Amino acid sequence: MDELKPLLITQPRRRSSLFSHKERSGLDVVTASCYVLSLMGVMPIIALPAAVAYSGYAGVGVAVVLLLLICYTAVQLGETWLLAETFYPNIIGPGSNRQPYPLLGEVVGGPRLRKLLTLLQDFTLMGAAMPFLLLASESVQEVVAAVTRGSLDYSFCYWLLLLTLLLLPIMWLGTPADLKMVARAGAALVVVVSGAVVTAMVMDNSVPAGGERSGTFRWPPRWQTLAYCFGAIAFQFDIHPVLLSVQTDMTQRGRMRTAVATAFCCEKLALPSLFKITAPYVPVVVVSWIRYGDSVSQNLLNSLPTTPLLHGVMTAVIFQVLICLCLGINALFQDVEEWLGITDAFGWRRAVCRTCLMLVLLFLCESLPHFGVAIELVGGLLVTPFMFIMPPVFNLILKHRCLGSTSVVDLVVATATILVGLVGCVASTWESLLQLHLHQLVPLPCYIDIIAATKMETEDRQSQAN
């Protein structure tokens, strides 16, 4: 890439056009909103109730603060890209939608920062894909075993292999602009699953209203529960590494704020309540709190009664999780293809490259076949820099460099966001490693002892359900 040099900020026409980019072929705002909602997916429906309930009323406060900060940094990231496009126009061109986050890092800190971000982003995307594929395979195992009454009760280790093979044709598609229908289907499934889960909880007569709520009123809350809450929420709403790929494919990139706001069901950043942030998820959290209290499982589906409705919910969850996997890992594909010099056009090189990456993902899942371990480590360690640290830092640096100043409010909010991210990252990572040590949760790989790996994961789900 040519040396990145800013335009003179004395050009008023260039500055005034910051949020009015020319239309082009790609994603419209509605599709981009569906893309963002699909990326958040059903994971918050499954794991957010436990993350909030285990911390009691403090968990509600933590969830509200984190979701506000996530929405804030997502919008900041989009605005920072528009600043970079406006004052560094030579970053726009062929391949700019393949590595937008590392490219933004180069604008801020040079080629070395770009290389570091590329490596960190690839690790994060691959690590984040693991829990999705594991959850889908475990859900397939349960649904198939229930429908066939145990006659086809095969280990999720086998389903991992089959699902990977079935996903390959979809994975061969190109950028977010090629996955419009997939994104819309994923967003629709999120709404369907939310409504079905709420219905299943309301119809559940096996637990008296309120459940066991001993820990719900505990004060002060334990730091371990708050750390788990941070890691779980950070993982479930980890859209930042992929967000810029969506924006660079939009017809009106300046409306990324609207896309994020629509996906979070809000109209502006100063949100008065949790309900306006995540409308598909709030009813699930509230009803779960009322019905189960802090006795809810880490996987909410394990707390629901075994009924045909649950099997239908799990089937929808499988499809939505796989869609989320397809959308989320797309940025990793584009990054590796850029490094290998593979063009945007569909061809055998793209198919081979993405097939190899999916086989690497399959190997990682077979090596660490435990959903809980994967989600805590990824959420606490890898996600935090992209979500809470880099967006405010990049935004402050570019505003000061290109616009000549930054407001005191921006500086204070950015500092608070970074501190929250750093403290949460350390606490969540330490808590997950501590749980691994105390409870010996590291399972044997499927390819070493498939029976032991399957038994451990099954016992873990059963213990959560009880």
Contacts of 288 (CB under 8 A, 6+ apart): 49, 53, 201, 296, 300, 303
Q: Residues 26-48: pLDDT tens digits?
A: 556 677 677 777 877 888 888 88
Contact of 359 with 122, CB cutoff 8 Å: no
DSSP 251: S
Task: Look up residue 199 and give its two tokens.
Answer: 């219905």
Q: Which of 176-180, 331-335, 368-372, 419-423 has the lowest mean pLDDT?
A: 176-180
Q: Residues 200-253: pLDDT tens digits?
A: 998 887 755 444 544 444 566 777 778 878 877 877 777 776 677 666 655 555
Q: Residues 302-333: pLDDT tens digits?
A: 888 888 898 899 999 998 888 888 877 887 88
In the predicted structure, residue 118 carries a pLDDT above the cut 90: no
Residue 91: predicted pLDDT: 73
Q: Which residue has the tokens 């044709």?
A: 169
d(CA 87, CA 245): 19
Q: For 357-376, what is the mean pLDDT?
A: 80
Residue 266: predicted pLDDT: 39
Domains delineated in the chain: 19-465 (1.20.1740.10)
In the predicted structure, residue 164 carries a pLDDT above the cut 80: yes
Residue 347: predicted pLDDT: 84
Q: pLDDT: is 376 or 138 the higher one?
A: 138
Contact of 134 with 156, CB cutoff 8 Å: yes
Q: For 56-60, what is the mean pLDDT?
A: 79
Exposure class string for 253-270: b at 16+ Cβ within 10 A, else e: bbbbbbbbbbbbbbeeee
Q: Residues 418-450: pLDDT tens digits?
A: 998 888 888 877 877 776 666 555 667 888 877
Exposure class string for 421-431: b at 16+ Cβ within 10 A, else e: beebbebbbeb
Residue 327: predicted pLDDT: 78
Q: What angle do CA 153, 235, 188 make, to 5 degrees?
A: 70
Q: pLDDT: is 296 or 377 the higher one?
A: 296
